[in-house]
Structure 1
């Protein structure tokens, strides 16, 4: 490619975002392969052109080119995904973690690691999963609860870890106190990866609160600062043989927030600290995986220890703005979430198709302890869930196939006496017009259980023991076509979810939950072009209309539904370009979300958000690679949350460093 053409392409990407993308397409090793193999959508190995779903595959090379240090950061440039944060750059607030919202379903993302679910209490902590341990990420958009169970109302993200690891060390440094370190080693059948990420002091990451809290009495005019954020992760894998391996992941994060006061109602307290909060999470994920021919089994144990320590100023209940910052009270809330489970499945092939049948058992447990001075309260909750799932795949002709997917979910009674029992079917029809063109349609149901936190509360969360489970209907029509170096993907979808479990933040920072209804109709368009092994583009467009109808309970205890209102954003755009010349690889990414509406009364419109990133990677030799990543290239001050509080992204930031393999 001439320098003139290259300059034109980069200018196109940077200044207009038109027809220029990378990050979610195809790695250099697959530059001419527009039909990647994946395992997630059908619970078995298929190719993209044989998969009736909207998918995206992010390989290790793609993740590296985004400059992201975590999966959460990398996904912000994906089609159909809205990244929602309670703070910038991997920072989270205990139970209020970052989210990857697929097709507008806020709590409908199921995250798997090597096929094992890691959601606990509605959280999956993608910000704690470093990219260095990942072989690829498969994203399946659309309600997938039929084959994967609860929490897949929006879609499924399957993170597939690396088998053999490179012997490597990496270090990066940047502004805002950014530090990032990584190392991986392989010794025979054992491989492991260790990472550490640090963010320093950041002021004014949120807008001031607008009202005084009705429950705690906290004054209005509080805003958030960050003192520091730390994330450490260790991932190991041991392969007994080609069929059997064990994985273990240990992660720890610690994020220190300070609530300061603007002085809006009391100038004498302006700039004083109202509260110091340290949120920390320690996580252990252990799984045993076995696959032989068409049979597979996963046994797993997940444990998440979560703790929030508060140091709060003494409140004057009559005049909250007169809080005394010299008189401090301490309290601590701890959660211990544990999940033990097993799933197995087998597929039998016959002349005109195949039959798959599987079973999954999952026991969820939660220990919650609240410590306020000398007062300590504790609660233990548990729930056993069983699922029988399957698929009948039938070939009417060589070109036309149909799938009948089904799942029966039932639970034993929990501590509030709640028992759930639901059958969810899905019917899929696909037709190949030729070897490079296929169309599909599907209709199915989804089902999602309430979490212990939503049912019983804890800390600043008020429990609602009689919350109903979510029930959804999903429809999708799609088309896929590959022509030479181009791949085109289109999906038209519509869904309605009844009894959507919705956070009620009117008394922020206290949160409770209620049942609402949500619906959305939209279209997603993806275009990928692999010009050659040095140049590739990708463009994604989405338009949808997510709406919510909030439930209300009057003074007589009668539940009614309000008016439908918009929330999240309607118009999405993501684009970028990868280009390699000699030893230098340049990757630019951009993601736009417009026509946004705040998910809190009075449902006001919000400024559009625009994420941008440019990454330079210089391969000095076979062993050494130097890199520079610049995030938020246009230095925008965008809101990255949608509810009552406004949390902002980080200003223009960079990280430069070196990676060495030996």
Structure 2
């Protein structure tokens, strides 16, 4: 087991004692950024907090979430600036930003400030939107306090705190059914969602896999007996069945079930925050031939665990505000086919440890500076030191500029290295990746109801971990020798009149990578992404037209293409009868297009569908 590099940590503590610091990244609820107060087009105080944040941020408020056609967080995030959220073949969730749409594990996912990621799975589709108050995206930072998987940023899902009881039921085309229940009071909260669809489009362009049944049941329980102690439990049972074809003739089928458990207990008192966490993911896949006979060698089982403790302490020394902490965790994975080696013999474990520190200081009333570092240790495999620097300067009360420089690190998951499936091939030669993020940005309050954000970034990654498509049905997680991407993101959000609102984001980048040493850089992923929402309100009626557009797309299995576009147009209308009763009608994929959801994944857009939902608040 490698020892901690004491010289690096000692040097870090020495530097922190000399140089001034600024706004650090989010604490448990991101209160050091006060992101719970950031809502664009809201009050002047909330806009002030947005201007004071030294990072590119995006907030989905409770009203925004209602405006989108999503039953879980995964579906809402499809409209994030410069992002592609895609449901891969099978069950799970992927979310990519800044040219890394093919690597599904880049952002760190938090629920109320507590990490949800588990061995490469973001589990965004496990979170029902009826339990969510808002979603906060902070790009290009977070490694110091939250460790690996933060190269492109952090997503924090803030759950509802106010007392409320609500229920909804929905019905739609293609067997779409939806039911939700949300109960919350001062100390206890519960949210449940049942979501299913009986027919989906072809998963693959060559029509070799087609979805026939997807059903998801999610529950979240929260208990907070006092101001210092809180507990959360999440359970998701996800079923996905699909048929296999050759030359449009059915050759078999697959039934996949994933059960995900997440439990954590958090204690905070006088600057001390301690979180004990545990997660389990159980994967079961049965493969059948055309006669519906079980094919044992192709039927897989996989159990994954992640549990540990993270403790941090926040205190003041003179003009400095310091956050320091440590994490100890165990990752484990067992896998095999139905008649293969037993799970006990296939069990693989590894320990993850980290120490970190970050400091904050307001240098002047206009300028703040922040930096810190994290030392990450994985048994005898790898040690990595992750420094971070942030600078914020206020030009005036309506304009701010910022600078971010930070390093990120990611280990391959145990499953990517040693476990394969019907669609994924294992790679035991997979290694860790390291990357640097450089970013400058400008935020401008155009008017009390209009906000503009511009950011220029550059990513430089060595040994990038990404999903390489082998053929239409199979993929493998591999290392690319080098990856780089320089991009520009521009977003605008405004209330245009008493009835109309508009939100749009344009992200243009140039993602390239070298697959093997000595090779040339090649284009990869999507270069142009535009997401827009046009809203209209008049009395009790509210409507939204949502559009996603992607162009200059470079597929991982056709690296020199660069052709094709993605257009995904959706619509919804909500009528609020009174304070307690409302009905919502929605149509997804109005144009019924069938492009790949994300260039590096190859999973096709779902067919056009509609659904209608009734909601009652008590």
Relative to the length of structure 1, the TM-score reads 0.82
Alignment equivalent of 1:547, drawn from 512, 520, 532: 512
Aligned match for 2:133, one of 123, 132, 135: 135
Q: Secondary structure at the match of 2:556?
A: coil
Within 2, Cα distance between the matches of 1:504 and 1:525? 30
Residue in 2 that maps onto 1:101 = 96
Change (3 A) 1:659 1:108: same
1:243 alignment partner in structure 2: 228
Q: When the two structures are aligned, how many residues end up with a matched partner?
A: 576
1:464 aligns with 2:464: no
Whether the 8 Å contact between 2:37 and 2:49 is mirrored in structure 1 is no
| Aligned position for 1:439 | 401
Separation in structure 2 between the aligned mates of residue 125 and residue 327 of structure 1, nearest angstrom: 31
**Residues in 1 aligned to 2:417 and 2:525: alpha-carbon distance in whole angstroms:** 25
Query: Does the C-alpha gap of structure 1 residues 427 and 612 become closer, same or farther in structure 2, counting only changes over 3 Å?
Result: same
Q: What is the distance in 1 between the residues matched to 2:323 and 2:538?
A: 47
| Unmatched runs of 5 consecutive residues or more in structure 1 | 1-24, 38-45, 87-91, 209-221, 263-270, 314-324, 414-418, 552-559
- Match among 113, 120, 127 for residue 111 of structure 2: 113
Give the Cα separation in 2 of the matches to 1:198 and 1:335.
24
Equivalent residues in 2 for 1:348-367, closer than 5 Å = 348-367=315-334
Deviation at 1:532, TM superposition (A): 6.3
1:598, 1:606 within 8 Å by CA — same for their partners in 2?
no
In the superposition, relative to structure 1, how do residues 591 and 164 fare at CA in structure 2: closer, same or farther (>3 Å)? same
Aligned-pair distance for 1:392? 1.9
Query: Quick check: 1:569–1:595 contact (8 Å CA) kept in 2?
Result: yes
> SS where residue 339 of structure 1 aligns?
strand
Question: Following the alignment from structure 2 to structure 1, what is the Cα–Cα distance between the partners of residues 463 and 220?
Answer: 38
Name the SS of the counterpart of 2:181 in structure 1.
Answer: strand
Given the alignment of the two structures, is residue 487 of structure 1 paired with residue 451 of structure 2, yes or no?
yes
Pairwise CA distance, 1:272: 3.1
Contact 1:34 1:487 in 2 (8 A): no
Change (3 A) 1:444 1:660: same
2:394 matches 1:428: no
Q: Which residue of 2 aligns with 1:73?
A: 75
**1:622 matched residue in structure 2:** 579
Q: What residue in structure 2 maps to residue 338 of structure 1?
A: 305
The change in CA–CA distance for 1:193 and 1:497 in structure 2 (over 3 A counts) is same
Q: Which moved more, 1:539-548 or 1:197-206?
A: 197-206
Aligned partners of 2:532, 2:287: CA distance in 1, in Å?
42
| Residues 521 and 28 of structure 1, relative CA distance in 2, 3 Å threshold | closer
Deviates more, 1:585-594 or 1:292-301: 292-301
Which residue of 1 is the match for residue 3 of structure 2? none
Root-mean-square deviation (Å): 2.5
Query: CA 1:407–1:31 in 2, change beyond 3 Å: closer, same or farther?
Result: same
Cα distance in 1 between the residues matched to 2:336 and 2:235: 23
Contact 1:628-1:654 within 8 A present in 2 as well: yes
What is the DSSP-based 3-state SS (H/G/I as helix, E as strand, rest coil) of the residue aligned with 1:74? helix
2:31 corresponding residue in structure 1: none
Q: CA deviation at 1:592?
A: 1.2
In 2: Cα distance, 1:422 partner to 1:657 partner? 49
Distance 1:327 1:81, change over 3 A: closer
Structure-2 separation of matches of 1:241 and 1:432: 39
Q: Does 1:519 align with 2:484?
A: yes
Distance in 2, Cα, partners of 1:28 & 1:523: 23
Q: Where does structure 1 differ by over 6 angstroms across 4 or more consecutive aligned residues? A: 25-30
CA displacement 1:550-572 (0-9 Å, x = unmatched): 12xxxxxxxx3422111111112
> Pick from 517, 521, 526: which aligns with 1:569?
526
Structure 1 residue 462 displacement after superposition: 4.0
TM-score (norm 2): 0.88
- Report the CA distance shift for 1:165/1:285 in structure 2 as closer, same or farther (over 3 A): farther
Match of 1:651 in 2: 607
Contact 2:68–2:76, Cα closer than 8 Å, also in 1? yes
The residue aligned with 2:24 is: none
Offset of 1:598 from its aligned partner? 0.9
Q: In structure 2, do the counterparts of structure 1 residues 327 and 341 end up closer, same or farther at CA, with 3 Å as the change threshold? A: closer
Q: Structure 1 residues 298, 502: CA separation in 2 closer, same or farther (over 3 Å shift)? A: same
Out of 300, 306, 317, the residue aligned to residue 277 of structure 2 is: 300
Q: Secondary structure at the match of 1:600?
A: coil
SS at match of 1:615: strand
Aligned to 1:506: 470
Q: Distance in 2 between matches of 1:641 and 1:77?
A: 13
Describe how 1:378-457 pairs up with structure 2 within 5 A: 378-413=345-380, 419-457=381-419
For the residues of structure 2 that align with 1:35 and 1:532, how far apart are their CA atoms? Answer: 21
For 2:331 and 2:53, locate their aligned partners in 1 and report how far apart those are by CA, in whole Å: 32
Find the counterpart in structure 2 of residue 529 from structure 1.
494
Check the 8 A contact 1:137/1:159 in 2, yes or no: yes
Match of 1:281 in 2: 258
| Mapped partners of 2:504, 2:489: distance in 1 | 11
Q: Which has the larger radius of gyration?
A: 1
